[in-house]
Each structure stands twice: as C-alpha cells, then as structure tokens.
Amino acid sequence: MTLYLGVALVAAAVVLFILQPVVKGIHASLEREDDELTETEARKRVALLALRDVEYDFLAGKLDEHDYRSLKADLTAEALAALEADEESKKGAGGGRVGDDLEAEIARMRTELRAGGACPSCAFVNEDGSRFCSACGHTLAEAVTP
Amino acid sequence: MTILGEFALWISLPVAAWGMALGYAGGRTQRGDLVLSAERSIYAVFGLLILASAGVSAAFLGDKFEYWYVASYSNRDLELFYKVTGLWAGQRGSLLFWALLLGLFSSICVFTNRNKNRSFMPYVAGVLQTILLFFIVVLLFADVNPFERLDFVPADGQGLNPQLQNYWMTIHPPTLYLGFTAFTIPFAFAVAALLNGRLDARWIQLTRRWILTSWLFLSVGIVFGMRWAYEELGWGGYWFWDPVENASLLPWLTATAFLHSIQIQENRGMLKVWNMSLVLMTFLLTIFATFLTRSGLIESVHSFAQELKIAYIFLSFMGSVLAACVVLILYRLPQLRSENQIESFFSRESAFLFNNLLLLGAAFSVMWGTMFPLISEGFTGQQISVGPPFFEKVNFPIGLFLLTLVGVGPVIAWRRATKRNLQKNFSVPVIVGAVTAVSLWMLGARHELALVTWSISAFVLTVIVTEFWKGTKARARIEGEGYVLAFFHLITRNRRRWGGYMVHVGFVMMCIAFAGAAYNTDNRFNVQPGDVVEVASPFGHTYSLTYEGLSMSIGRGQRNLLWQAIATVSVSQDGGPAQILTTEKRQYTNRDTQPMTEVGIRSIVREDLYLILSALNDTNGALRADPGAQGIDLQVLIKPLVGWIWFGCLMLAIGTIVALWPSVDRTRAATRVATAGEPALAGAD
C-alpha cells in the first residue's frame, strides 16, 4: 500500500512539474542574450585573435621580419573587413545595441587600423591590435588603446 | 525501494517521449512554455533514473536474488564495495548507468544554459531526450530490464567474475561512460545548429568544454582499462586489440580529429561539413562502443551477452540517427560552404588536415579489423579474427606520422609557411632527433621501429620545449617579469594553446613508452625454495631473484576464496638491498574458472619487473602443506618504460584540465564588454 502511494506521489509530482509551464503559460526565454556574440562579432574576434597570434609568433622569434610583415598585412586587411562588416550589420539591425559609445570606438579603431599607431618609445608605426611594438618590443597597450 | 525504482523507470518512458516531442515542437513554434516543459522533463527523467538506479543498488545491497541481474552478478559473500559498484558490473545495469550519466549531463547542460544560448536550447533538449528515450526503450523492451524477476528465489547468487574484482575495473567503465555520454552534448548542439540554422562556429565554441571533458574522460578511461589489463589479466600486456578496447579507441580517434579540425573552422571558417560529420561520427561510435560491448556480437574478454534483439535495436537507432543527420546536413549544405581555402601545402591548416586524415585512417583500420570476424562470417560462415599483427602493421606507421605532426604543427605558420620559417624553426629539433637516434644506436639500441619512435619523440619534445622557452623569454623580456612568473602568465593567458602542448607532451611520453615494448624480455624458470635466478635488464643491470617459498591459505569461502597460493620472491638489483615481491594464484569458489593469477610488479622509472606465478608443480601437495610440493613455474618479465604510459596519461590529463579551465582574462573581458560597452578588442589581448 505504502509502495503504491509512493509511486503515485512520484508520478503526480513529475506530471505537475512538467505540465505546469504549459498549463500556467510560464515561458522560457528564447531571446538572444546581450552578451552573446553575433556572427559578425565572432568573425571580428577571430580576426583580431589571429593578429595577436602573429604578433606572438614574431616576438617569440618564430617568424622572421619578412614573413611577419606579409602575414600581418593580410590579417590586418581581414580584420578591417570584419570590423566593417560588423558595423554594417549593426546598422542594418537598426543601431548599435551596445550603445553609441561602441559605435564611436569601432570607427576610431578602424581609422587607427588604417593609419597605424606610433610607438611612444621609438616612433615605429604599428597597426592597431598590436600589443607590442614590432620594432623595439615596447608595450603598446596604453599607446594605441587610450 | 527496488520496486519503486522499477516503476520510476516505467514513468520515465512517457516523460522522455513528452520532452522529446515538446523540445522539437517548441523550437519550431518558438513557444517558450513548450520549451520550459521540455527542459523540465529532462530534470524529471534524471530524477526518475536516479530512483531506478537506487532501486538496482538497493537490490544488490539487500541480496535480493529474485532479480536475475543481482543473482547473476553478486552473492552473499561479495565484498560490500563490489555490491555498490554492481550497478555497472553487467550489461543490464551498465545500460541503466549509461542513461543515468546522460541524464546527469543533460541536466547540467540545461541548467547552465537556462539563461543563455536560448536559440539552441529547444532543439538541444529535444535531441537529448531522444537519446534518453532510446536507452529507456532498450532497458524496458530489449530483454535487458535490470528489474526482471526470476520465477524462484535462489539461495545465493552466482557471484561476480573474479577478473572484475579489481579496483581499476570499478573505475574504468564509469570513466569511459562519462566520456561517451559527455560527447552527446556537443552532438546535441550540432544537431540544434543544423535545425536552427546558426551554422557558424558558435555551436563549437559553446561546446568546447564539453568536447574537452568528454575527451579527457575517454582518454583516462582507456588508460585505466590498460592499467587493469596490465595488473589483472596476468600476461604482462596492456593492449590486445580486443574488440571492446578497439570500440573505445574508435570514438577517441574521431574525437581527437574533431578537437583539431574545429580549430580550423574557428580560425579560418573552413571544414564546416567535415566537423558536422566528425561530431556525428564520434557520437555514433560512442553508441557503437556501447552496442559492441553489450551485444556480444564479437567474441571478446569483455562481452556480456549474446543477444540479437538488442543488436537490432541498436543498429536501427544508429541507422536512423545517421540518416536523419545526413538529410539535415544536405538540407543545410549551402550554408555550410567554406569561407576560405587552404593556401599552401606547407601551412598549419594542412598539418591539421593531415592529422585528421591519419586519425580517420587509423579509425577506419581499427573498425575494419574489429568488424572483420563479422564480415568474414557473412562471406565464409566462419568468424576469422585478424589479431594484433594486423592492427600493429597498419597503426604503427600512422602513429609515427601523427607523432611527427605533433612536432610540425605548433611551429609551422598559418596560411603559408615559407622556407625561411621552416628552416628557422626546424633546424635545431631535427638535429636533436638525429643526435638522439645516433646516440641510442651507439648505446646498443638496434630495434629500428623503436629507434625511429624515440628519435621523432626527441624532435617533437625539442619543438615543444623550445615553444615554451621562447614564449617565456619573450614575455619575461617585454613585461619585465621573472622567468617563473612569465612562464605562469604565458600559460594562463592562452590556456588553450599551452594546455594543448602539455597534452602533446603526454602523448609523446606514451609513444616513448609504447616503443619500449620492443625491449620486453620474458624469462621462465622452474624454482624450488632457496633457488636464486638472475635476469638481465636491457638497461644493463641485473636482477637477482631468490624464491623464498610458497604460502597456502585455505579460505572457508570468505571473499569467495577457496584457496590462495602466495609465492614470495626477494629481488635485488645489482646486489643492492633486497625487496620482497609476491605473486599469487587464487581459486574462487563461485565460478568454474581456472585459478586466477595476481602478479607482482616492481616499478622504477626506467622499467617494471613483472612476476607471474605461472603454475604450481603440485597443487594438491601444496594444499596439503607438503614441504616437498613448493616448486613453482615463475615467469619474470622486464618491461622497459611501461611506467611512462601512466605518467604520460597524467600529463595528458593535466594539460586537458589547463585547456578546460575557464580563462580569467576572457571572463573579465566578457564582463567588460557586457557592462561597460568597452571595445570588442578586449577579447584580443
């Protein structure tokens, strides 16, 4: 008797638990969350990470000057394209969802990627995204990302 | 409790079916209430499976021999420990345990994603419930219900196979099952991506940790199995290309290929269809492994049963999953186009691609060799096994190429490597490899395959150590940190890369150990108490072994032991201090088995000394404690470098955990982007 009571209780609890959302109309969110990267954002991130890797390989002495420059030129062009595509898609979606600050930030970064940033120590012009100066190895974090 | 468990299993059937239907329907109609109900049904199924498993465990602990499963795998004298682990001692319990673990992982997955990745979750819930439902159906309808009752209540059970009474055997299956079941989550996300159309690398990024977790458990589980074979089977080997060993190796091979090829998709937007196929293949192979172990279709030391019904059910499920996924991939084919192309033969992309081809080649050959008995039966009516020589002939060269790629991959440039890049990075490692080969040759090593393996290993290790050294040096120089701190920061700033290298080091260590098997020695002696025998190690030293004598103990059924013969041998290396080793024969009461052997192992870093009590000269005399009946056949094996397998596995596990560990930088970067709207570049530093 106790056994069947136990079984009935378990079954009833399970049924209540899984039917409640449907009966009472409790909805799980199906919305995209704010911190979820969009497709273009993801691509932008990959492009920038690839730039970082090239920097690393060069600094660690795995790439020589010539290979480094040619790879970096390619990757910079790609990063630029990814940034622009991302900006484009945000415009299409009706304005930046993270706010105008980021819009401005990206626009600024784009110009800097084109123009390059000068190293405070030796004045060598580096593309933005460089963590370190390609000529003297000085840290660029503050110099190009104010 | 047991009956409640049985009912719980029955209740889980409609719940899983409900969850499956609502998951897909909720995804299709975008109705949040249906999705919430589907997600809750996963928790519910998990809870019910806990009750069912508790029911089986209660039957074991309560010696309820009216249940077929308990009567077949336990008896009154079985140690408590093995009653607790009885849940996965046999086929029926294992299937329930599989479902339980899948329920656990599914619940973790649903819980951790309750507020994120919502576009995936309806379908993820649907897929997970489909697979849970499949296992519940198998348990209930394929004649493998662990709650099946006998018509009578036996006085005692048949007991557990003595070979399974070993602690490695109690942790090896669960570890493998954790690996198998964890891989269901990436598979579910892949199918969800095919269904919801988000076919970029997102599903891969979301499941990277799951993939690594699964891979970690698979790797460690396989090595645990090797360790069990080494300690318990009593013939000194750790891998026999047994069908079930192979079955666990297959998903490992494809999962390893997948781990590498997703990096190309993430970095270069290529190989999308390939990755979908690999995730599907790996998932099917985890099911296949379960199927092969549990169907008893191919003779194996592990096979539990010889039932055809379950084989058909498994095969039709695998066939349906395969068909459904192929249709989905074809349907999405236009969106799975590659964004880039491989630019050069000499590039990291092509190294990854070769790695994939080799791993798949290995998987195919292992599959072919494993299934050959069945194929041959189909054509000739006889099961013909191909045996270890076939597997070794095919897989040794593949293994060597893979090992070489481990060295090439990290330093070859993405896109296209120039001659200068290759020269700059490979000169020193190649020289080190060559010097290693020549030195070993001069030291007397003559086995070609072993020499080649060790030489390539030296090359690879040089590449990896140089990577760590260059990275640390660059960081120390630029950030002005000490070398220790720079090394630590180097790893924590890019755990994925450096964790991966550590895994590679573990793999190399294991390869070095496998090659050591070329120098195994096998010596057999018939000894009387007091006899001293000498055995030479390939490393040049000599062991002298003194056989001290035999001690017999007659069990009165405790721990199911009828009798136990323990041979004591004292061992000294080059006349050094003596150390005692024992090796045993045990006769168990409850099975018509041959006496079991317990081996004696003395491990040093270089090699293992492995003692086997092969036979007693006069068992009956020894049982009567006749002083003249103490002679034994003693087998003395020397197994160079075997310990490196276990060290290598440890290294591999540490590396995987490093790669798995949530990166502090990335978490901080994510919060920064979310809160302050800071530049997206945060992710790039």
Task: Provide the pLDDT for residue A104.
Answer: 59
pLDDT at residue B167 in the model: 79
3-class DSSP state for residue B536? strand
Report the amino acid identity of residue B138. Answer: V
Q: Residues B322-337: pLDDT tens digits?
A: 999 999 999 998 888 8
pLDDT of residue A121: 59
Taking residue B489's Cβ as centre, other Cβ atoms within 10 Å add up to 16
**Given the structure tokens 């070095």, which residue do they identify?**
B512
Tokens of B655: 């590396």
CB of A30 less than 8 A from some CB of B: yes
Whether A1 has its CB under 8 Å from any CB of chain B: the answer is: no
Least confident stretch, A72-76, B65-69, B176-180, B381-385: B381-385
* Residue in B7, B478, B684 nearest the CB of A137: B478
B-interface mutation test, from A14, A16, A89, most B Cβ less than 10 A away: A14
Residue B126 reports pLDDT greater than 90: yes
Which chain B residue has its CA at the smallest distance from A35's CA?
B674
Average pLDDT value for residue range B76-83: 86
How high is the pLDDT of residue B656?
Answer: 94
Domain that holds residue A89: 39-114
Nearest by CB to B36, from A26, A33, A106: name it. Answer: A26
pLDDT at A136 over 80: no
Q: Considering the domain boundaries, does residue A126 fall inside one?
A: no
Task: With a cut of 80, say whether residue A15 has pLDDT above it.
Answer: yes
First-to-last CA distance in chain A?
75
Position B294 confidence tier, pLDDT thresholds 50, 70, 90: low
Q: Which residue of B has its CA nearest to A34?
A: B674
Question: Does B254 score more than 60 pLDDT?
Answer: yes
**Weakest-pLDDT range from A24-33, B222-231, B421-430, B600-609:** A24-33
pLDDT at B169 over 70: yes
Please work out, in degrees rounded to the nearest 5, the angle formed at the alpha carbon of residue B508 by the alpha carbons of B470 and B451.
110
- The answer to whether residue A61 sits within a structural domain is yes
Position A63 in a domain? yes
Structure confidence at residue A98 (pLDDT): 46
Among B334-343, B459-468, B652-661, the least confident range:
B334-343
**Interchain CB distance below 8 Å, B48 and A10:** yes
Q: Of the given ranges (A68-77, B96-105, B293-302), which has the lowest mean pLDDT?
A: B293-302
Q: How many CB atoms lie within 10 A of CB B386?
A: 18
Identify which of A18, A53, A132 has the shortest CB distance to residue B478: A132
Task: Please answer yes or no on whether B33 and A106 come within 8 Å at the CB atom.
Answer: no
DSSP at B559: G
Confidence of residue B315 (pLDDT cuts 50, 70, 90): confident
* Residue A60 placed within a domain: yes
**Span B392-449, pLDDT tens digits:** 888 888 999 999 998 888 777 677 677 777 787 888 899 999 999 999 998 888 888 8
pLDDT of residue B685: 30
- Number of compact structural domains in chain A: 1
The average pLDDT across A74-78 equals 81
Across the range A33-45, mean pLDDT stands at 69
Q: Compute the average pLDDT of residues A121-133.
A: 63
Beta carbons within 8 Å of B160's beta carbon, 6+ residues apart: B73, B74, B75, B78, B82, B86, B89
Q: Say yes or no to pLDDT of B566 above 50.
A: yes
Of all residues in chain B, the one with the smallest CA distance to A100 is B677
Least confident residue range of A118-127, B271-280, B553-562: A118-127
Confirm whether A30 is domain-assigned: no
DSSP B206-264: HHHHHHHHHHHHHHHHHHHHHHHHHHHSSSS-S----HHHHHHHHHHHHHHHHHHHHHH
Q: How confident is the model at residue A146 (pLDDT cuts 50, 70, 90)?
A: very low
Residue A102, in any domain of the structure: yes
Residue A109 has pLDDT above 80, yes or no: no
> A91-103, pLDDT tens digit by residue?
665 444 444 555 5
Look up the ipTM and state it: 0.74
Question: Which residues 129-188 of B have a C-beta within 8 angstroms of A?
Answer: none
- Residues of chain B with pLDDT > 90, as a percent, come to 44
How do residues B178-202 score in pLDDT, each as one tens digit?
A: 999 999 999 999 999 999 888 888 8
Chain A: closest CA distance from residue B600 (Å): 49
Say whether B471 and A44 touch across the interface (CB within 8 A). no
A9 in a domain, yes or no?
A: no
Q: Nearest-CA distance from A37 to chain B in Å?
A: 9
For B653-674, write each residue's pLDDT tens digit. Answer: 999 999 988 765 444 444 444 4
Instruction: Say if B521 is an interface residue toward chain A (CB within 8 Å).
Output: no
Residue B678 contacts A, CB cutoff 8 Å: yes
Looking at per-residue pLDDT, the higher value among B604 and A46 belongs to B604
Count of CB contacts below 8 A, A vs B? 173
Only one residue has tokens 């496998």, namely B514
Q: In angstroms, rounded to a whole number, what is the distance separating the alpha carbons of residues B180 and A141?
A: 44
Q: Is B594 buried (19+), middle (13-18) or exposed (0-12) by CB count in 10 A? A: exposed
B208, pLDDT greater than 60 = yes
Residue B189 has a pLDDT of 95
Higher pLDDT, A67 or B4: B4
Shortest distance, CA A105 to any CA of chain B (angstroms): 6
Chain A residue with minimum CA distance to B340: A78
List the single residue in B with minimal CA-CA distance to A98.
B677
Asked whether the predicted pLDDT for residue B96 surpasses 70, the reply is yes
A53 touches chain B (CB under 8 A): yes
Contact with chain A for residue B479, Cβ under 8 A:
yes
| Best mutation target, A2, A19, A30, A35, to test chain B (most B CBs within 10 A) | A30
